Structure 1
């Protein structure tokens, strides 16, 4: 390869790698956002399952933060074309590739476990609703109000439990007009099918997004090692002259 050919190839590879690094930085930001969202808004629905865990959002936030920090630092070795740092960055991308694939599989497993525990969790919250120290009242009320549902399978679950009537969070009419004894005023659909759909759709989206992001570093790894090899073979100074 002539110096002229190298001059053409080198800037192209470096520009592509720099562009990749910017996109990779935003991928890290997206992973952090997914972790925060999973730990804030979505956790109000996940916590009703006994299989709920704070580990998945913490893992996502940690991985996303590491990606953001390393991608930021990597801009230096890309601009200055530091061969050793490029090789290290390429190795980091390979590690991230397998790490995010593992996290993606973990999210899918976590999703199945949470959904599998919904029936037990909802029934437990119904049975212990309003009991001092049980700390379950606000959770089931939040779910019933926001998902417009009542009970596990239907509002009848409340009548079959220790409660005579459904709580006010089951009312589909304003509280001033609602009669919790009359089914006409209550949500008739149970919370379990709605929770299953909500959790399955959202965690599947996070898992699928993680899988897509996991494939992305493979392209960056090839660019990184290609740039490092070009630098080692021809040297940086002759290329830019």
Structure 2
């Protein structure tokens, strides 16, 4: 056995060069034989023999995946918050969980964070299994995104009609379905619109119809209002009450009169180039991370192949 701090060193012997092992002069392992070059070589742990370029790639891969891990966890947290806020996880509503749009953010968040964390750990600990899992996950993401983009582009007219039908259903079932209500409110507030084709579409809702006996009769949702806060800090849920019974000239100072379907079509037409650029940028970022991981895997493979060659150390 080797005494002192030298215990635990892994030594590879070479019997063709005679001589002692370690240098005694000024060495903390005093009394050990002197090492001659070529007699014994110290076998360092895997990864310590990566070149400087491979080291840069290793930490770039780690940072790239760390960023996407955080983004994935944020998506997951947003999805869980949405499910809890709408009480979709309570026992009486768990059966309708599959139709909740917030479930999409949960699934995407779990997938992105899982794959990215595998890439982080694989790069940091130079684990080829985790890195291969990461590359497989990224390839799957890229293929699904390209396939989805092609399908959406080829069926863009059908998608537009489907969105219009969804908004119409949301108008009819506004008070009965919290998911549809959430979607309709977000569209109306984001695009400053009201109804599907015009604000008069809300007459189709039994609660907002002027013949309804409720307090919401002849009204529209607060998300149609131009200023739902009314210069305050808390939204006024009654700001749209009575808007359907007003003259159009009077109503336009309180609510948005234009429908969301034409407004959404104009928005998509005007931002088509920007959306395409974002999509291409996302694909390029994912392909960049894939190339970094592939380069790191190649570097690790070459180092380990070198270590298996006789006389390579």
**TM interval, short-chain normalised:** 0.5 to 0.7
Post-superposition Cα deviations, 1:68-111, rounded to whole Å, max 9, x if no partner, equal: 43134224533xxxxxx33x244224302321113424654579
> Which structure dedicates a bigger proportion of its chain to helix?
1
The question of 1:95 aligning with 2:167 is answered: no
The question of 1:167 aligning with 2:220 is answered: yes
Q: Say which structure, 1 or 2, has more relative contact order (CA 8 Å, 6+ apart).
A: 1
**Map of 2:296 onto structure 1:** 223
Shift, 1:187, TM fit: 0.9
Secondary structure of 2:193's counterpart equals: coil
TM-score, normalising length: structure 2: 0.52
Shift, 1:114, TM fit: 6.4
**Equivalent of 2:66 in 20, 25, 28:** 25
Q: Give the 3 Å change call, closer, same or farther, for CA 135–31 of structure 1 in structure 2.
A: closer
Q: Give the 3 Å change call, closer, same or farther, for CA 176–30 of structure 1 in structure 2.
A: closer
In structure 2, C-alpha distance between the alignment counterparts of 1:212 and 1:65, rounded to whole Å: 19
User: Tell me, which stretches of 5 or more residues in structure 2 are unaligned?
Assistant: 1-47, 83-98, 211-217, 231-237
Greater CA radius of gyration, 1 or 2? Answer: 2
Q: Is the 8 A contact 2:192 2:226 kept in 1?
A: yes
In structure 2, C-alpha distance between the alignment counterparts of 1:156 and 1:103, rounded to whole Å: 40
Q: Give the 3 Å change call, closer, same or farther, for CA 19–138 of structure 1 in structure 2.
A: closer
**Map of 2:167 onto structure 1:** 122
Shift, 1:221, TM fit: 0.8
How many residue pairs get matched?
A: 215
**Equivalent of 1:154 in 169, 176, 198:** 198
Alignment of 1:98-113 (within 5 A): 98-105=139-146, 108=149, 109=151
In structure 1, C-alpha distance between the alignment counterparts of 2:152 and 2:104, rounded to whole Å: 8
Superposed CA RMSD in Å reads 4.4
Shift, 1:119, TM fit: 1.2
**Map of 2:258 onto structure 1:** 189
Post-superposition Cα deviations, 1:155-214, rounded to whole Å, max 9, x if no partner, equal: 23235676244415333365679851222323122122444547x879868754542333
User: Tell me, which stretches of 5 or more residues in structure 1 are unaligned?
Assistant: 1-6, 42-50, 79-84
